[in-house]
A = this chain, B = another copy of it.
């Protein structure tokens, strides 16, 4: 019986859509050309001794070469370690040693930043169109394009022996709360998890819906769950794929226009930056990774961006997506609010929200609890971390570390990370909701709410604000009082203090770096 493995997708598109294209670094590759490049690099990798179980580290932005390595590794049975280039250098080295990277494929772009790493690892492949890129010394330094040229254009016998249970990839959590944790994904888990997401978007006539005629441009990096599955889906579908490489928002806008991009994914901060570009036409955007502030959602909507919100993470893949309930018309303000805040688990996924005593919270639209997930593509645990695994993977369920509640229609709302929420007088204050409301203030560009110590209440919320101009505390309190009157928040959630800053630090995943803020401002 045919196996359910990643490179099958490419074999398929080769037959059904040989002329379809992948655009990357100003070049255009047909699926057929792409396929032959994959065969060539895979055959050369085989000659280097890379085989089933070998771990390959990749340091690159989203390019055709990075994508080729996905399929070449799949055919060889090698494990692709998509290195998070936004990690601190020591964390990056930690993940490369922990994963056991045998060869490191690095874009020329990253050589300056990765200089210290060359002394630590022996085997490097440089990815560049430049024939003689300058590189630090290491035991073996090879050129990717030379390997492509030298590689045979023939199918690999190994490709037929790969099974769905074999490990396809390993990647690491961002490690904002400790050392990065590795997660291995089998071919089956990564494929079913990725395809479920896109199938679901195809089935719904709103938000970031997808179809076979979309042009895909992921801004989520491949190191982040293979660009949330976009390394697989356009090829599965035979659709046009545009890879943005290291493009900044202005260049992204140009690519969108030139290539007629219709579908993208990005975190809210990327969306916020893209929205500053004018004239990018109508696009559909899948976003997620942090609570989605209503201020950004409204701006996106006005700019012609239709969006869906996904819930998930490196250690669970995608598990829920925002919905427009059946009794609400799409393209209404109400629908927009649901797309921003109400998610339903994918079919075959179960989500439980439990209170401190382990009981399910009522579906009442307000009672917060810890979010647990059970899905067909959940990994078995963290790689070589039995203790941390035990804390998070419990009887087939994954304890996400998120705080959320159920709407009365059973949609879920993710309010905060458990570590980020504020406990004031024994009651939770979810910072995401406060940030969302503050983001609607016309002078506020970005806002993070963190706890500050308070003798009477334990913790009180403190708002860190990047604003277009200074706003008086009293004005913000009046602004939030209106949200209290509208029933959106409780009065005791209103922060006592507001701090104005020039920049709010972000994590490697583009989220608000609350740990850094707490270290600096929480007293």
Contact = CB atoms under 8 A, between A and B. Distances in A.
Interface of A: 1-4, 8-9, 11-12, 15-18, 20, 195, 199, 202-205, 210-213, 236-238, 326, 344-345, 347-350, 374-376, 378, 380, 396, 410
A2 B193 CA distance: 13
A4 B376 contact: yes
A16 B17 CA distance: 37
Contacts of A16: 344-345, 410
Nearest to A14: B410
B376 A2 contact: yes
B9 A237 contact: no
Contacts of A213: 205, 326
Most B CB within 10 A of own CB, among A2, A238, A326: A2
Contact of A15 (B199, B375, B410): B410
Given A4-B348, A8-B347, A213-B326, 14 more contacts: A1-B375, A1-B378, A1-B396, A2-B376, A4-B376, A8-B348, A9-B347, A12-B349, A15-B345, A202-B202, A202-B203, A204-B212, A205-B213, A237-B347
Contacts of A375: 1-2
Closest 6 CB pairs of A and B: A202-B202, A199-B199, A202-B203, A2-B374, A236-B347, A12-B347
B12 A348 contact: yes
A441 B12 CA distance: 39
Contact of A326 (B20, B348, B349): B20
B199 A204 contact: no
Most B CB within 10 A of own CB, among A205, A374, A376, A396: A376
A394 to B, nearest CB: 12
Given A2-B374, A17-B326, A12 B204 contact: no
Contacts of A2: 348-350, 374-376, 378, 396
Nearest to A379: B1
A163 to B, nearest CB: 12
A377 to B, nearest CB: 9
A238 B327 CA distance: 13
30 contacts: A1-B375, A1-B376, A1-B378, A2-B348, A2-B349, A2-B350, A2-B396, A4-B348, A4-B376, A8-B347, A9-B347, A11-B350, A12-B349, A15-B410, A16-B344, A16-B345, A18-B410, A20-B326, A199-B199, A199-B203, A202-B202, A202-B203, A203-B210, A203-B212, A204-B212, A205-B212, A205-B213, A213-B326, A237-B347, A238-B326
